[in-house]
Amino acid sequence: MDKFIIEGGKKLKGEVQISGSKNAALPLIAASLLAPGNHVLTNVPNLRDITTMISLLKHLGANCSYDDATLKIETDNIRGDDAPYDVVKTMRASVLVMGPLLSRLNHARISLPGGCAIGARPIDLHLKALSTMGADITLHDGIVEVRANRLIGSKIFFDKITVTGTENIMMAATLADGTTVLENAAREPEVVDLAACLIKMGAKIEGAGTDTIMIDGVKELRPLSYKVMPDRIEAATFMIAAAITDGDITLKDAPIDCLDSVILRLRETGVKFEPIVNSINVRGLEKPMGVNVVTSPYPGFATDVQAQFMALMTIAEGASVIKETIFENRFMHVAELNRMGANISIDGGTAVVKGVKGLIGAPVQATDLRASASLVLAALAANGTTEINRIYHLDRGYEGLEKKLKTMGASIERVPEGV
Ligand code: EPU
């Protein structure tokens, strides 16, 4: 397994191009299953999760080619109806093929995802919604089988806000009989991006970006041709990289409008922002102020930025309280940050971070994607050398992270397995 060796203490300076969004691209790739034909997605990031999704589509019978951020998918002969355990266990977003497969083939078999590093993450709300729409659902040998000759447009209330749940059901509803209304729907920008693409394919959708989405089923959809939105979580991570290194970074093509809550909190710490055409300049400071954060669904502070923000708070002036409300086990980075000299204590879903003078480089373990990003940020600010093991987690969701950081002056090396 590759590791990173990071020499901390360099102020990052320069420009960074924000890549296409992983969490927008994954449902968009799944959406290609809804219509036979040739689909084209551009601005698709080169990431492990994207490769996994492409492998899954190939397994289902699609032909895919990926080059220079462009993904071509041909879906004339979709024969497979299953997302096998090997794929689902490496990437839970595989469940996004369930809605499209059910609409296209009238059946789908999805291996049930188990727990993962950040929590239990069930898919009961996806299944409850499909059942309301008339699907028969059976469970055997860890595989959930869904069947429906025709899905019926229905009123669905999500007991809890779910991003991929909203996306799955929105896709399934595009080809259902009649009107589906999703209440307490996720408002995440990636849901809006998917709706915009589905509308371009001929779907009738209103209200994406609000908590009520209305979908009028249509008979068929056209193949998609769509540019994936930029990655707001990658952008937030680079903003924090500027903040934590007292750096000066210009983010190109960052989706600033989707980052209000992160920018607000970072401004409170003392970070300076200056929007430029299609870019935003971010300047850090020697000692940020401690600021409290509570994660919540969009437009609240994203759980996917919690770990990175916590890295910044470790060296802040005073204490900060960080409350995680989305996932029950998303503090795996805490023990590792403490190894680097941070002073963080956890009580349930709340972490109290007492700012220290500085972090000290140490060997640490990456545990999940965003926890890994948090360790990279901490290492960039730390005194001395940090060795981050298990960085395959980062390759799932950050395109060319070390190259981008190096261009801005970071001392970061990838050491391949066995070296
Ligand atoms: N939940 C249920 N039942 C369900 C679905 C969700 O109880 O049927 C619970 C979850 O256990 C969790 C909460 O609802 O406590 C929210 O989960 P959600 O379904 O919104 O998460 P997700 O759709 O599986 C997406 C992102 C995650 C991101 C979350 C929250 C993708 C592919 N993944 O996951 O991204 O953390 O929304 O914003 O869009 C990441 O990129 O690192 C990542 C984990």
Closest residue by Cα to atom 10, ligand 1, is: 121
Question: What count of other Cβ atoms lies within 10 Å of the Cβ of residue 402?
Answer: 18
**CA–CA gap between residue 34 and residue 168 (Å, rounded):** 11
Omega before residue 299 within 30° of 0, cis: yes
Given the CA of residue 186, which atom of ligand 1 is nearest to it?
Answer: 20
Are 132 and 156 a contacting pair, CB within 8 Å?
yes
Helix, strand, coil % (nearest 5) of the chain? 35, 30, 35
Q: What residues contact 188, with CB distance under 8 A and at least 6 apart? A: 23, 163, 166, 297, 298
pLDDT at 319: 97
- Answer for the pair 353, 214: CB distance below 8 angstroms, yes or no: no
**How large is the angle between the packed helices 163-173 and 98-105, nearest 10 degrees?**
10
Q: Which residue has the tokens 């395959």?
A: 392
Structure confidence at residue 120 (pLDDT): 66
From first to last of the 419 residues of the chain, give the pLDDT tens digit: 899 999 999 999 999 999 999 999 999 999 999 999 999 999 999 999 999 999 999 999 999 999 999 999 999 999 999 999 999 999 999 999 999 999 999 999 999 886 666 666 789 999 999 999 999 999 998 899 999 999 999 999 999 999 999 999 999 999 999 999 999 999 999 999 999 999 999 999 999 999 999 999 999 999 999 999 999 999 999 999 999 999 999 999 999 999 999 999 999 999 999 999 889 999 999 999 999 999 999 999 999 999 999 999 999 999 999 999 999 889 999 999 999 999 999 999 999 999 999 999 999 999 899 999 999 999 999 999 999 999 999 999 999 999 999 999 999 999 987 66
**Structural contact between residues 206 and 213, judged by C-beta atoms closer than 8 angstroms:** yes
Q: What's residue 278's pLDDT?
A: 87
Q: Whole-model pTM?
A: 0.97
State the closest ligand 1 atom to the C-alpha of 167, by its place in the atom list counted from 1: 23
Which are the contacts of 54, defined by CB distance < 8 A and separation ≥ 6?
29, 64, 66, 71
Cα(408) to ligand 1 centroid in Å equals 32
Token pair belonging to 25? 């691209």
Which amino acid is located at 38 in the chain?
N
Q: What is the torsional sign of CA 143, 35, 55, 234?
A: negative
Burial bucket for residue 9 (CB in 10 Å: 0-12, 13-18, 19+): middle
**Residue closest to 212 by CA, chosen among 232, 197, 191, 230:** 191
Q: Left, alpha or beta for 37 (phi > 0: left; psi -120 to 50: alpha)?
A: left
**How much distance in Å is there from the Cα of 92 to the middle of ligand 1?**
9
Distance spanning both ends of the chain, measured CA to CA: 10
Residue of 271, 270, 239, 269 lying closest to 254 (CA atoms) = 239
Please tell me the residue having the least CA distance from ligand 1 atom 25. Answer: 163
- How many whole angstroms from 164 Cα to the centroid of ligand 1? 7
Catalytic residue IDs: 116
Half-sphere exposure of 56 (CA within 13 A, CB side): 35
Give residues (CB < 6 A) around ligand 1.
23, 26, 92-93, 119-126, 160, 162-165, 190, 303-304, 326-327, 369-370, 397
